């Protein structure tokens, strides 16, 4: 059990590339923390620095209050689960799991009991004498976990441990990783590029981009109060819709029409000193088919109507895609986010809006639909710095 503190930790490669820049994270004892970000954001580098597999170029890493920068991996007492599992192919499952204990010169009886206990937790008991090559992906993944938990380390580091599994298995393993961590109560740092894993697993999520920490907070907080455009676009699936807009006389003018600002938003925007040009963000679930909104709500909200480009019915809900003509150019920031999130739009002048509608909606592809949205759920961002102008502390 340990607390891990990254104090201005920096990684600079010999060629001058900055992989991680002044990262400050305090990980409490027993906490499950997720590092999430697009590829190349420095999350794996950060994890390798905590593990001791990569040198720290600047700043300090403290494990339980003690400086650990110069400690070798074996002296940090941290276990790691690799994306590729990295099982020893010449050893049986039992030997694989016993390996850390053997290195620590634990006596045979203890090794046996600890391995069997870990195997029981991970449901591997009947596979103990098999070789990794004869196991399925999910079983190999569990062996890798077993090798990590068997010696009760200070902390677990997991480097995208589920990304090699198929979708269904990934869902199951996600639940069991979460349960296992709660059961053991060991500090865990988990790296992923999948925002779903980030949302569902962690106590807190650290969003990284280009080696910089963007925001740290609980998943729900990040979802409701993203600090900037990047976090807003990265967290949530489908991601938040962004529309370039202008603020004029207490109203927001954009491709969604002219919407009066609610009192709450006006106060926040004024206190943040926003300029005239902003980017408005609104999540897909804050839209609804007008026909399904009762009168009382309808009056309070705003509406726009457009042609449904694509309609995806998921059974429980429907996703309707619209493309809106936008007079304002997309900001550079938005384009980068789209690229980072891997959803770079097909080149076009319009803005694509994704809306999540109730399954009862009668929307049809190619037909015009009137869509209602709640103006109080709009978030406004500075188009240059990306800062959230409606951020509430």
CB of 94 to another protein, least distance (A): 15
104 lies in the site for another protein, by CB under 8 A: yes
How far is Cα 244 from Cα 63, in angstroms, rounded to an integer?
45
Structural tokens at position 365: 């592809």
Looking at residues 223 to 282 of the shown chain, list those that interact with another protein (rule: CB under 8 A): none
Helices 167-184, 137-149: crossing angle, 10 deg rounding: 20
- Among 24, 110, 125, 134, which residue interacts with another protein (rule: CB under 8 A)? 134
50 lies in the site for another protein, by CB under 8 A: no
Q: Is 44 exposed, middle or buried, given 0-12, 13-18 or 19+ CB atoms closer than 10 A? A: buried
How far is Cα 72 from Cα 96, in angstroms, rounded to an integer?
21
132 lies in the site for another protein, by CB under 8 A: yes
Nearer to another protein, 139 or 306 (CB): 139
Contact 138, 122 (CB under 8 A): no
How far is Cα 357 from Cα 354, in angstroms, rounded to an integer?
10
What is the enclosing helix (H) or strand (E) of 145?
helix 137-149
- Residue 140, classed as helix, strand or coil, is helix
53 lies in the site for another protein, by CB under 8 A: yes
94 lies in the site for another protein, by CB under 8 A: no
297 lies in the site for another protein, by CB under 8 A: no
Distance of CA 246 to the CA centre of its chain: 30
Q: How many residues bind another protein (CB under 8 A)?
A: 33
Nearer to another protein, 77 or 376 (CB): 77
- Among 7, 18, 21, 51, which residue interacts with another protein (rule: CB under 8 A)? 51
110 lies in the site for another protein, by CB under 8 A: no
73 lies in the site for another protein, by CB under 8 A: yes
Nearer to another protein, 156 or 242 (CB): 156
How far is Cα 380 from Cα 393, in angstroms, rounded to an integer?
15
Question: Where does this chain touch another protein (CB under 8 A) — which range of 37-45, 69-77, 249-257, 321-329?
Answer: 69-77
- Footprint of another protein (CB under 8 A): 51-53, 72-74, 77-80, 82, 84-90, 99-100, 103-104, 131-135, 137, 140, 147, 151, 157, 164
């Amino acid at each position: 059990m340990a607390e891990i503190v990254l104090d201005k930790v920096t990684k600079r490669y010999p060629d001058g590339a900055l992989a991680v820049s002044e990262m400050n994270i305090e990980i409490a004892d027993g906490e499950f923390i997720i590092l999430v970000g697009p590829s190349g954001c420095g999350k794996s580098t950060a994890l390798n620095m905590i593990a001791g597999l990569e040198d720290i170029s600047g700043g300090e890493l403290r494990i339980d209050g003690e400086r650990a920068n110069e400690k070798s991996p074996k002296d940090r007492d941290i276990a790691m689960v690799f994306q590729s599992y990295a099982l020893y192919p010449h050893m049986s499952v039992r030997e694989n799991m016993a390996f850390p204990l053997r290195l620590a010169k634990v006596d045979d009886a203890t090794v046996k009991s600890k391995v069997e206990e870990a195997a029981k937790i991970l449901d591997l008991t009947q596979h103990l004498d098999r070789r990794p090559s004869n196991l399925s992906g999910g079983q190999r993944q569990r062996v890798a976990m077993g090798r990590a938990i068997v010696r009760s380390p200070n902390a677990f580091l997991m480097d995208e441990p589920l990304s090699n599994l198929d979708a269904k298995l990934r869902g199951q393993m996600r639940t069991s990783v979460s349960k296992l961590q709660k059961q053991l109560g060991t500090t865990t740092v988990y790296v992923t590029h999948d925002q779903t894993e980030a949302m569902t697993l962690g106590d807190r999520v650290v969003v990284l981009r280009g080696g910089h920490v963007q925001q740290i907070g609980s998943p729900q907080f990040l979802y409701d109060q993203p600090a900037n455009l990047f976090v807003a676009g990265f967290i949530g699936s489908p991601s938040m819709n962004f529309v370039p807009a202008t603020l004029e006389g207490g109203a927001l003018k954009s491709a969604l029409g002219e919407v009066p600002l609610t009192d709450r938003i006006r106060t926040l925007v004024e206190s943040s000193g926003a300029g005239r040009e902003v980017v408005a963000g609104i999540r897909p679930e804050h839209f609804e088919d007008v026909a399904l909104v009762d009168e009382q709500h309808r009056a309070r909200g705003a509406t726009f109507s457009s042609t449904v480009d694509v309609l995806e019915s998921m059974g429980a809900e429907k996703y309707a895609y619209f493309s809106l003509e936008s007079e304002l150019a997309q900001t550079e920031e938005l384009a980068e986010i789209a690229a980072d999130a891997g959803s770079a739009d097909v080149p076009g002048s319009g803005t694509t809006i994704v809306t999540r509608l109730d399954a009862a909606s009668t929307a049809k592809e190619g037909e015009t639909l009137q869509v209602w949205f709640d103006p109080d759920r709009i978030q406004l961002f500075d188009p240059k710095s990306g800062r959230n102008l409606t951020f509430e502390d």
